[in-house]
Amino acid sequence: MRKTSTLKNILQKKELSFLMEAHNAMSAKIAEESGFEALWASGLSISASMGLSDRNEASWTQVMDVVDFMVDNTAIPILLDGDTGFGNFNNVRRLVKKLSQRGVAGVCLEDKLFPKINSFIGAGQDLASISEFCGKIKAAKDSQLDNDFCVIARVEALISGCPMEEALKRANAYAGAGADAVLIHSKQSDGAEIMEFCRQWENDCPIVIVPTKYYNTATDAFREAGVSTVIWANHSLRASIAAMRAITRNIRQHNSVAQVEREIASLDDVFKLTNEYEVQLAEQKYLTL
Ligand code: SPV
Ligand code: MG
């Protein structure tokens, strides 16, 4: 099955699915070997791993270069967090065309203004008009080179403090514009507004959620609410920060690496994750003619 079709199936099937964040080829590979069906190429995590804030400081081609390595190093579909599309409908068209050419399975576009700000920063977030954002969704769908490429419309109404009616109105409009799924985002810690959104959602369009702030909500509650797909959006990045910091401080404190050797990945693991042994087999095939 094509990666695009696999992602479309993940969105459309009845069972709850899970996408794992990745921010480079290594984290992508680790998510794949852990059994995830598909990957979330997180804007926050990719920016953070470049040392940049999640405000479109990285250019779209720099993001594309990272995603390219992720595609090369995995066989599962990748959904790119495309932020606001890096500009207007025309930038969206170019983005989607390039993603299609490079084997990315889908893009998520959010209804904020360029340059976006991470949803968990600051009180207010300026939203695009419904008509402008619907134009971006249509432009994205018209630019995909593969019929099953997925365009997910992310609704930031609740993030920006709008009432539930506005979130539902926007989500319905984006589904009508051709989105393959809607992502409803929330910064509340109890998940109540997400559950309320799901209760009031009468459209067939699948719902995607990102339970970063409402992490205590049981996964079964999402299942019962009819959610299609859950994105674990930044946990690989945050795990790596915690692990690197602990080990680095430990080495600094002891001026030795002996005490951490068994805590860290082996070099053999690094070689396996970077296909070293495949290259060695290829050498036997191509260098000994
Ligand atoms: C990301 O992972 O970049 C996201 C999700 O967009 S969030 O950070 O929750 O906005
Ligand atoms: Mg993002």
Q: How far is the CA of 149 from the centre of ligand 1 (A)?
A: 21
Ligand 1 contacts CB of residue 212 (under 6 A): yes
pLDDT score, position 289:
73
Which whole number is the average pLDDT over 262-281?
Answer: 96
Q: Tell me what pLDDT residue 47 has.
A: 98
Cβ of 158 below 6 Å from ligand 1: no
Ligand 2 center–CA 112 separation, angstroms:
11
Give backbone dihedrals phi and psi of 217, rounded to 5 degrees, phi first: -65, 130
Pocket test for ligand 1, best of 212, 214, 229, 230 (most atoms within 8 A of CB): 212
Indicate whether residue 44 lines ligand 1 (CB < 6 A). Answer: yes
pLDDT, residue 90, reads 98
pLDDT at 33 over 80: yes
Q: Is 148 a catalytic residue?
A: no
Rg (CA), the chain: 20
Query: For residue 40, which phi and psi values (nearest 5 degrees)?
Result: -105, 110
Residue with tokens 């598909």: 38
Task: Tell me, yes or no, if the pTM score tops 0.90.
Answer: yes
* Nearest-atom index, ligand 1, CA of 119: 10
Residue type, 127: L
Mean pLDDT of the chain: 97
At 122 the pLDDT is 81
Q: How far is the CA of 281 from the centre of ligand 2 (A)?
A: 39
List of residues 6+ apart from 95 with CB closer than 8 A: 60, 82, 85, 86, 107, 140
For 214-254, the pLDDT digits (tens) are 999 999 999 999 999 999 999 999 999 999 999 999 999 99
The domains found in the chain, sorted by start residue, are 3-234 (3.20.20.60), 241-286 (no CATH)
Torsion of CA 77, 159, 24, 92, to 10 degrees: 60
Say if residues 108 and 74 touch (Cβ distance below 8 Å).
no
Q: Residues 168-226: pLDDT tens digits?
A: 999 999 999 999 999 999 999 999 999 999 999 999 999 999 999 999 999 999 999 99
